[in-house]
Amino acid sequence: MANIRIVGVSKRFGNVVAVRDIHLSVDDRSFVTLLGPSGCGKSTLLNMIAGLEDPSNGEIYIDDLLINKVPPSFRNVAMVFQSYALYPHMSLRDNLSFALKIRGVAKQDIESKVERVSWMLGIHELLDRKPKELSGGQRQRVALGRAIVRDPKVFLLDEPLSNLDAALRLQMRAELKLLFDTLKATVIYVTHDQAEAMTMSDKIAVLKDGELQQVGTPLEIYFKPVNRFVAGFVGSPTMNLSPCRVAVDGPRFHLRTTDFELTLPASPTSRSWAPFAGRELIMGIRPEHLALAPDAGEGDVRGTCMVVERLGSDTQLLVKTGANVYTLDLPGSATVRTGQNLRIRFDLDALYLFDAESERALSTPEHLASAGGICP
Amino acid sequence: METVYRRAQMEELIFSMVRAATIVLFAVFTLIPLIWLFINSIKQPIEYLATPPVILPSRPTSQNYVDLFKDPNSEAPLALKNSLIVTVVATVFSVLIGSLAAYAFTHLKWRLAPLLAGLVLLLGFYPKITAVIPYFVIMNNIGLRDTLLAIIIAFVGLNLPRTVWLMMTFFNDIPKELEQSAMLDGCGPWSRFVKIIVPLAAPGLAVAAIMSALLCWIEFMIASSLAVVKATTLPIAVSVYLTDKGMHWGPMSALGVVTVVPVIIFCLFVQRYLVRGLTLGALKG
Amino acid sequence: MKLKQPLLSETMMLAIFLIPLVAVLLVTDIIPLGFSTYLATSSWQLIDRGASATWVGIENFRKVIADPVFRDSFRVSIEFALGSTLVELLLGLVVAYMVVGESWTMRAARTIMIVPMFIPGVVVGTIWRMMLNVNSGIVNYALGLIGIPPQTWFSAANTAMPSIILVDVWYSTSFVIVLLVAGISTLPPDPVRAAMVDGASRWQVFRYIMLPMLTPVLSVAALFRFIGSFFVLDHVYTTTYGGPGFATNAMSFHLYRQGLQFFNLSYTAAASWLMIGFALLVILVLSWLRRVLERHAGP
């Protein structure tokens, strides 16, 4: 296994900049996810690590060896493609043994490795079949098997679960995590699915439009997003974001949106709101920090319920407060109807503030993170 | 790992050189006969059969071309005219008839329709020599032997199977919903054909037309079986040079150039369509 | 609201669309083929403007098969078809592999390379006849410059066949190249990239991944070329005219001469049907071969 260092890597296709000045370190035996929407450059970055594309600028090191000019066949990396890329004309057995055969590995060694890996992945009975006879899940395991059999320094996975149906995807998520933990492998995983990234990674690197937004542990990304994009991308249902201002009224500060005004907490443990007064801001609050106010209390916001989504375990509401719409995450048994007038209670200790223009995070509820014992 | 990696670099370098050499050699191999044809067409008469052969004509002349078209005994002007007429007319009709038939085949809900279509396609694959002689006898007996009409009809028949099949593939790619909504609006088959299918399948029609035109321009066997004097085409005129006229390489080359240049220019402009037409079958089959 | 009924139903209109097709194909294919069967099974003599015919069943077929010239022309056609197909497939594959790519150089190279197949066969023959002329052809001249003695090309029976194969290679390799370039370009890219990451060299990728996946296109190319070469006429007509002697008397050419110059109509008809039978056989055999190959493809 190996560590990887990406230093100042950019990639241009003609006039289009796919990847811009990326700096990233992947520690030995860690699972790092490149997360971002379509077109953010994550697959391009992965291809550059594999050697299928050349960086326009910057260097890539595997185990402190500069590999920019090294062709893919010599990098000792294994890649699992989104389409699995199985050799259609070969049996499973031949698919798994191909890489070893062309390197001249002894026949008995190949056989024992193929046996071991196919048992590990539960595809042993299928060894003599051809790819077109297999289901999607089975093909995916073969693609994995092909990579594992090579005992590479790094595993590169390009959205391996996106072609599977939802139930299979959840199952494979857990299996993959367990598998790579067992193998003690260095893994770079590409996905647009934030749930996959959150559940499987040691570290997440969030990309947007070719630029690295933030690198951190899943909980760091979740609780301490560095900008509005990261905050909105991670977490389901997504964080509520609306324009606002902080107004001063004597000793108290108020949060003012187009629809309502709330008094900001002023206890000794709450944050200082002074620096944020008088600017254009964006407020963020996660749906799980909004509740329905049972009785009329001060500091509640009036709204009308537009949509109720019952998932069984949760109930999600879309509530219109005027110009803004807020998503609430309530327990499954909540009793609400569409059209119902209700009151939302904001847990303002869990408020996020972003600068409206730069979209950088100005204030985050740090205590949430440390309450979970994640970061000091 | 370093040495293995260096060997890979060497391999890539060698490959690049081999590739460049192969391409250059083959391109030269392809071009030299054509260049030679042109050179021969501008040579002085005494230079034709010179031994050793003259590579660069000392005084290039256009006399051969002039002779082709000014000499009253030359069939070149007639052959050129006939080839043009036959090519244009046969192409127009084969595309028209072929696309109408393809439309019918793709829309008829008759059980025998695919069978019929298959039969038509099959007719594109048998050796035409079988039909050439009988066709000649028939045309001869109805007095159409040395006419362009007989040639045109034969050429249309020659192109139809391929055109039908080509257009069927293109028509099948047009989503049915487009026609269905037109049907609901009250459009009959003819107006659907003209207003919807034809505009959408225009590239397919272009491919079919281009391939038909090329085939008509270069066809020899059928045309030569029918033509005697009046219906001569360019390929026939060229072939005649060796048997009837002996080794007049100059005018023969000039005629060859006249036949070949339109093809080359045509190819340069429409090669995308050509490639598509040629490969459509091979890849789907 | 009364709907206006069209004059003709949908099916009738579509049937009308088929009429021109049927009419033309009747005249150019169906009737001639029917007439050809009649010719093949009767003894047909042309007398002045009329003809006399007596039914002879398979007698003509027997005569044709017994004719040594016909059998020899069959051998010639087979040799020619095999020779040219093999060379064209091999050469075409190599060149096609080299010439894939979207850069303007590759596209320019491909444009040059597809020209030959669209030149009239008779012109191709004419050009090569000039080039391979023993005394004043530039090929022998060029060979002389590097010390190789002049070859007899078309003028000697033993070199005539290789010579016409050479002409066909120049003529038809371009077709194979077009087909194979398209085939290579439409291969799924991921297995190739996977093989690269797995450590395969360029040759290994080609041999173990690309080639097996190209078998369908290759077999189509092989079929077209074999059948096409078997039925060759045009450039043989202007290069060797069947000779010297009968060395290059390919089947189509032989029948063309018999039918249109000597008016041996029954002979020609019977022989053509034998040809068709053979073509069908080839198609069947090649399809079977392809299925067998596909089952055993792979490293």
Residue-range domain boundaries for chain B? 2-63, 71-284
A75 to chain B, closest Cα gap in Å: 9
By the CB < 8 Å criterion, does C6 face chain A? no
C73/B151 Cα distance (integer angstroms): 28
- pLDDT, tens digit, for every residue of B243-269? 665 667 788 888 889 889 988 888 888
Q: Are strands A77-80 and A203-208 parallel, antiparallel or unpaired?
A: unpaired
What pLDDT sits at residue B150?
93
Within this chain, do residues A219 and A295 fall inside the same structural domain, yes or no? no
Give the dihedral of Cα atoms A201, A206, A207, A211; nearest 10 deg. -120
Residue C281 lies in a domain: yes
Would C193 be classed as within a structural domain? yes
Give A82 to chain C, closest Cα distance, Å: 9
Same domain membership, residue A65 and residue A211: yes
Query: Per-residue b/e over A35-51, b at no fewer than 16 CB within 10 Å?
Result: bbeeebbbbbbbbbbbb
Beta bridge mates, B128: none
- The predicted complex's ipTM stands at 0.85
The tens digit of pLDDT for each residue in A277-329 reads 888 999 999 999 998 887 777 778 888 999 999 988 889 999 999 899 999 99
User: Cβ of B269 under 8 Å from any chain C Cβ?
Assistant: no
Q: Residue A35: inside a domain, yes or no?
A: yes
Q: Beta strand A211-216 with A65-66: parallel, antiparallel or unpaired? A: unpaired
* Residues A224 and A249 both lie in one domain: no
Pairwise pLDDT comparison (C93 vs B230), residue with the higher score: C93
Give the per-residue pLDDT at A204: 96
> Mutate which of A74, A76, A102 to test chain B, going by most B C-beta atoms within 10 A?
A74
Residue A37 contacts residue A128 (beta carbons within 8 Å): no
What amino acid occupies position A102?
A: I
Query: Which candidate from C190, C191, C200 shows the least CB-CB separation from A73?
Result: C200
As a residue count, chain A comes to 376
Q: What are phi and psi of C45, to 5 degrees?
A: -120, 135
Q: Which of A149-158, B16-25, C3-12, C159-168 has the lowest mean pLDDT?
A: C3-12
Q: Does A137 map to a domain?
A: yes
| pLDDT tens-place string over residues C130-182 | 889 888 788 888 888 888 888 888 888 888 999 999 999 999 999 999 889 98
pLDDT in tens, A156-208: 999 999 888 888 899 889 999 999 988 888 999 999 999 999 999 999 999 99
Whether omega for the bond prior to residue A237 falls within 30 degrees of 0, making it cis, is yes
Q: Which residues in chain B are closer than 8 Å to A70, comparing Cβ atoms? A: 5
Other CB atoms within a 10 A radius of the CB of residue B204 amount to: 27
Please indicate, yes or no, if residue A32 is contained in any of the structural domains.
Answer: yes
Q: In Å, how far is C76's CA from the nearest CA of chain B?
A: 17
Q: Which residue among A232, A248, A267 closes a domain?
A: A232
Largest Cα–Cα separation, chain A: 82
Question: A187 with A242, same domain?
Answer: no
What is the per-residue pLDDT for B18? 94
Q: What are phi and psi of A118, to 5 degrees?
A: -70, -35
Distance from CA of B116 to the nearest CA of C (A): 10
Residue C2 has pLDDT above 60, yes or no: no
CATH of the domain at C290: 1.10.3720.10
Using the predicted structure, report yes or no on whether residue B118 has a pLDDT greater than 90.
no
CATH code for position A129: 3.40.50.300
Smallest Cβ–Cβ distance between C197 and the set A50, A84, A90 belongs to A50
Phi-psi domain of C155 (left: phi exceeds 0; alpha: psi -120 through 50; beta: other): alpha
Interface touch B49/C135, C-beta < 8 Å: yes
For B110, the 3-state DSSP assignment is coil
Any chains having at least 3 CB pairs less than 8 A from chain C are A, B
Question: Which chain C residues have a beta carbon less than 8 Å from that of A52?
Answer: 193, 196-197
Mean pLDDT within B174-186? 82
| C7 confidence band (pLDDT: 50, 70, 90) | low
Residue A104 sits at the chain C interface (C-beta within 8 Å)? no
What is the total count of domains within chain A?
2
- Taking a C-beta distance cutoff of 8 angstroms, is the pair A354, A231 a contact? yes
Contact C131, B33 (CB under 8 A): yes
Spell out which residues of chain B touch residue A74, defining contact as CB-CB under 8 Å: 1, 4-5, 8
Segment B197-215 shows an average pLDDT of 87
Partner residue facing C199 (CB), from A73, A84, A86: A73
pLDDT band at A96 (very low <50, low <70, confident <90, very high): very high
Confidence check: pLDDT of C297 > 70: no
Q: Which of A69, A70, A76, A153 to mutate to test the interface with B (most CBs of B within 10 A)?
A: A70
CA–CA separation, C101 and A320 (whole Å):
56
**Rounded distance between C-alpha atoms, residue A318 and residue A303, angstroms:** 10
| C88 within a domain of the structure (yes/no) | yes
Query: Which range (A131-140, A360-369, C41-50) has the least confidence?
Result: C41-50
pLDDT at B223: 92
Quote the domain boundaries for residue C254. Answer: 59-295
C292 touches chain A (CB under 8 A): no
For A295-309, letters b (16+ CB in 10 Å) and e give eeeebbbebebeebe
- Round the average pLDDT of chain A to a whole number and report it: 89
The tokens describing C265, both together, are 């109509």
* A254: containing domain: 238-371
As given in the structure block, the two tokens for residue B78 are: 């007639």
A376 assigned to some structural domain: no
Q: Which of C192, C198, C201 to mutate to test the interface with A (most CBs of A within 10 A)?
A: C198
Contact assignment for C231 to B127 by CB distance below 8 Å? yes
Which residue of chain A comes nearest to B3, CA vs CA? A74
Which CATH number characterizes residue A299's domain?
2.40.50.140
- Is the model more confident about C111 or about B188? C111
Test B53 with C126 for CB contact under 8 angstroms.
Answer: no
Q: Is residue C159 part of a domain?
A: yes
Cβ neighbour number for residue C80 with a 10 Å cutoff: 21
Same domain, residue pair A133 and A250? no
Give the pLDDT confidence score for residue C52 in this predicted structure: 65
Find, among C261, C74, C52, the residue nearest to B136 by Cα.
C261
Query: Can you give the pLDDT at residue B246?
Result: 63
The rounded percent of chain A whose pLDDT value lies above 90 is 48
Same-domain status, A318 and A224: no
According to DSSP, the residues that pair with B136 across neighbouring strands are: none
Specify the amino acid at residue A264.
L
The rounded distance, in Å, linking the Cα atoms of C69 and A17 is 71
At B40 the pLDDT is 86
pLDDT (tens digit, 9 = 90+) per residue, A13-57?
988 999 999 999 999 999 999 999 998 889 999 999 998 989 999
Q: Are A57 and A173 contained in the same domain?
A: yes
User: pLDDT tens-digit profile of C253-273?
Assistant: 999 888 888 888 888 889 999
Task: Quote the tokens at residue C121.
Answer: 């066969």
pLDDT of residue A371: 56
Indicate whether A79 and A227 sit together in one domain.
Answer: yes
Window 30-49 of C, Cβ < 8 Å to B: 31-33, 35-36, 39, 49
A164 and A244 housed in the same domain = no
**Do the chains contact at A73 and B12, CB–CB below 8 Å?**
no
Average pLDDT, chain C: 86
Based on the domain organization, do A52 and A92 belong to the same domain? yes
Q: How many domains does chain C have?
A: 1
- For B71-284, give the CATH class: mainly alpha
| CA distance readout (Å), B234 to A321, B167, B260, C184 | 83, 29, 10, 36
Inside any domain, residue C23 = no
Give the pLDDT band of residue C243 (cuts 50, 70, 90): confident
A70 touches chain C (CB under 8 A): no
> From the centroid of its chain, how far is CA A221?
9
